[in-house]
Amino acid sequence: MKIEEVRSTAKTQRISAHSHVKGLGLDENRIPLPQGAGLVGQEAAREAAGIIVDMIRSKKMAGRAVLLAGPPGTGKTAVALAIAQELGNKVPFCPMVGSEVYSSEIKKTEVLMENFRRAIGLRIKETKEIYEGEVTELSPIETESPMGGYGKSISHVIVGLKTSKGTKQLKLDPSIYESIQKEKVSEGDVSEGDVIYIEANSGAVKRQGRSDAYATEYDLEAEDYVPLPKGEVHKKKEIVQDVTLHDLDAANARPTGGQDILSMMGQLMKPKKTEITDKLRKEINRVVNRYIDQGIAELVPGVLFVDEVHMLDIECFTYLHRALESSLAPIVIFATNRGRCTIRGTEDVISPHGVPMDLLDRLVIVKTLTYSKDEMLKIIKIRAAIEGIQFENDAFELLSDVGSRTTLRYAIQLITPASIAAKINARSIVTKADVEEVGCLFMDAKASAKMLTEAVGYMK
Residue 349 has pLDDT above 60, yes or no: yes
Helical H runs in 271-313?
Answer: 278-294
Distance CA 115, CA 410 (A): 31
Q: What is the pLDDT of residues 60-118, one digit of tens each?
A: 776 678 899 988 888 888 888 888 888 877 778 888 888 888 876 778 888 888 888 88
Residue 54 lies in a domain: yes
Does 95 lie in the same domain as 143? no
Does 425 lie in the same domain as 350? no
CATH of the domain at 217: 2.40.50.360
Distance CA 206, CA 105 (A): 38
- Give the burial class of 322: count Cβ atoms within 10 A of its Cβ; 0-12 exposed, 13-18 middle, 19 or more buried: exposed
The residue range of the domain holding 333 is 35-119+302-367
Does 162 lie in the same domain as 59? no
Which residues in 200-236 are b (16+ Cβ under 10 Å) and which e?
eeeeebebbebbeeeeeeeeeeebebbeebeeebbbe
Does 168 lie in the same domain as 93? no
Does 182 lie in the same domain as 114? no
Residue 30 lies in a domain: no
Distance CA 380, CA 396 (A): 7
The model carries a pTM of 0.66
**Strand ranges, E, within 276-357:** 297-301, 303-307, 331-336, 340-342, 350-352
Residue 9's pLDDT is what?
Answer: 42
Does 411 lie in the same domain as 323? no
Task: Give the single-character DSSP code of 313.
Answer: B
Give the count of domains, the chain: 3
The answer to whether the beta carbons of residues 323 and 78 sit under 8 Å apart is: no
Does 97 lie in the same domain as 62? yes
Domain end position, chosen among 220, 241, 262 = 241
Distance CA 264, CA 153 (A): 28
Q: What is the pLDDT of residues 143-186, one digit of tens each?
A: 766 665 565 667 777 888 888 787 888 777 777 766 666 655 54
Residue 146's pLDDT is what?
Answer: 60
Does 236 lie in the same domain as 159? yes
Residue 279 lies in a domain: no
Does 194 lie in the same domain as 149? yes
Residue 288 lies in a domain: no
Residue 173 lies in a domain: yes
CATH of the domain at 450: 1.10.8.60
In angstroms, what CA-CA distances link 51 with 22, 54, 151? 17, 5, 68
The answer to whether the beta carbons of residues 180 and 156 sit under 8 Å apart is: no
Residue 223 lies in a domain: yes
Domain end position, chosen among 367, 391, 416 = 367
Q: What is the pLDDT of residues 327-346, one digit of tens each?
A: 777 888 899 988 888 888 88
Does 146 lie in the same domain as 100? no
Residue 6 lies in a domain: no
Cα–Cα–Cα angle for 133, 135, 137, nearest 5°? 135
Residue 4 lies in a domain: no
Dihedral sign of CA atoms 22, 27, 28, 31 in order: negative
